[in-house]
Structure 1
Amino acid sequence: MTAPSKNNIYLIGLMGSGKTTIGRLLARRMGRVFFDSDHEIEHRTGVRIPVIFELEGEAGFRRREAQTIAELGAEGAGVVLATGGGVVLDSANREVLRNTGWVVYLDVPTHILFERTRHDSNRPLLRVEDPLAKLNELRAQRDPLYRETAHFIVDGARCNSNGAVNRILQAWERQCAQSR
């Protein structure tokens, strides 16, 4: 683990891992501004994520995501940012995250993710015949990239949202103390 290079804290993980919920709690506890990259993209475009996927495909969405992450990360104002689950697919995004903040991977088992997301119509990648198989496929593809990018990993099967926030804060404070 390396010391945070900037004050930003980025949360990464698969859809349904709790990035938005934990990010809001973390930002509140730290007195920081919170952003969710998907919500920010929707705000900037004026349309929901599934519409962007329909009109521009996943590639178009990923371009917008990369631009949003770079802009929010460049501000360096000590934000807490919940990223989209696929942010790590682009090596440039992984580099931006690692170089402009401290990255936390919320690692949650697939069966829990499925329970959390199975009724959510705002998940374009899960609009398939077998969403559980799709989540397993996404985990196999992305887990190594999340681990490569993360400075800290939270085992989401072992704690609730408040427990995850406490673990993140403890690790953050250790990292800040070590970097002094």
Structure 2
Amino acid sequence: MNGKKMPTHIVLIGFMGTGKSTVGQLLAQRLGYAVVDMDAEIERREGRLIRDIFAEEGEGAFRKAESDTLSEILSRSEVQIIATGGGAVLAEQNREAMLSNGFVIALTADTADIIQRVGNDPARPLLQGNAADRVHKLLLERKHAYDFAHLTLNTTGLTAQQVADKIWDSWRSRG
């Protein structure tokens, strides 16, 4: 094979609560591609819930499982819509793999919207304690973590369908 291979996957990145899973489902329906929710895939591969991985082995073990899972998913030859976890971008190897193998779209949202969407979700181990404070702190820590994306879309005030439509338009015209 000569030359660099064309990116094949649509990779959705962004902070928790920005709509990655919902938009991924809508894109998959529209495009006829499989959708892979990274968090669900990690839980399937590990045989336990993400919150249990955090509780039993810590964030480091989860991040390793996340990187391993992402690498395997991105190596698949069929086009997929991949909804990553919010922290999948923290490892440089993950960012490089996403860019090499996909069209990367960062979904963002206003802080108040994120807190409203995820603030009471017990399945989010990084938000234990005061969820609003944790969201503010994590957003500050990850302020530029999603800057490498090919496209950034703010989902605030948009329906998931509107976001999916914007991604579809960009995907179609990227040629």
Pairwise same-fold verdict (TM > 0.5): yes
Q: Does 1:67 align with 2:68?
A: yes
Partner amino acid for 1:89?
L
Question: 1-side partners of 2:71 and 2:117: how far apart?
Answer: 29
User: How far does the alpha carbon of each residue in 1:104-132 deviate from its partner, in whole angstroms, 9 at most, with x for none?
Assistant: 0001111101111122110000002x211
Deviation at 1:26, TM superposition (A): 0.5
Alignment map for 1:1-180 (pairs within 5 Å): 5-128=6-129, 130-147=130-147, 149-176=148-175
Question: 2-side partners of 1:111 and 1:76: how far apart?
Answer: 38
Deviation at 1:145, TM superposition (A): 1.5
Partner amino acid for 1:23?
G
Deviation at 1:6, TM superposition (A): 1.5
Number of matched pairs: 171
Instruction: Indicate if the aligned counterparts of 2:120 and 2:131 stay in contact, CA closer than 8 A.
Output: no
Partner amino acid for 1:172?
W
Deviation at 1:157, TM superposition (A): 1.1
Deviation at 1:81, TM superposition (A): 0.5
Partner amino acid for 1:111?
A
Name the SS for the 2:122 alignment partner. coil
Question: 2-side partners of 1:94 and 1:33: how far apart?
Answer: 21
Aligned-residue CA RMSD in angstroms?
Answer: 1.2
More helix by share: 1
Name the SS for the 2:139 alignment partner. helix
Partner amino acid for 2:145?
L
Deviation at 1:100, TM superposition (A): 0.6
TM-score, length-scaled by structure 1: 0.92
Instruction: Indicate if the aligned counterparts of 2:33 and 2:79 stay in contact, CA closer than 8 A.
Output: yes
Partner amino acid for 2:98?
L
TM-score, length-scaled by structure 2: 0.94
User: How far does the alpha carbon of each residue in 1:69-90 deviate from its partner, in whole angstroms, 9 at most, with x for none?
Assistant: 0000011311000001001110
Detail structure 1 runs of 4+ shifted over 6 Å in the superposition. Answer: none
Change over 3 Å in CA distance of 1:138–1:5 after alignment to 2? farther
Question: 2-side partners of 1:79 and 1:108: how far apart?
Answer: 24
Percent identity of the aligned residues? 35
Name the SS for the 1:69 alignment partner. helix
Deviation at 1:143, TM superposition (A): 3.0
